[in-house]
Structure 1
């Protein structure tokens, strides 16, 4: 993941490295309250400073977020689904393709 500034705005660009998707998934998981309030606070402040078109989330990261929320955090599937759909609507989504793997 590359963080850069364009016209004063922080931008997130994704590389095709699968490992980097975990950073995005973790930021979203923290924003959902996983791993405590201090991390949630930081994640929400970070995301609040970015516009929708400045955040590109791979579809794979959303799938992994659902898994983390239901398995690690033991949240109900319906709650995790609502969270994932919320992020899907709030961010630009990058397709996952076999070319990446």
Structure 2
């Protein structure tokens, strides 16, 4: 499951089934809060926050991690410096499976 924690409008249950339904705003927010709590439990052991330094280069797998920009990224450029993001999307030839190793 790939979820943008800061920009998810709804969830769809039983997609393309006769009983398909879309969550309303309250249910969506409740689910997102449950997901956030799960991520932050156990002293936030699943969370990595990068302390940026000049010259840093970071690669993340957007299908394998949840991510969002911290509030600091909305501060003025004069306070936090210029933030540049380059995005690349690649496509594999097979669907990933748990325990699968490919080169």
Q: Structures share a fold, TM > 0.5?
A: no
> What is the TM-score with the length of structure 1 in the denominator?
0.28
> What is the TM-score with the length of structure 2 in the denominator?
0.28
Q: Which has the higher strand share?
A: 1
Q: Which has the higher helix share?
A: 1
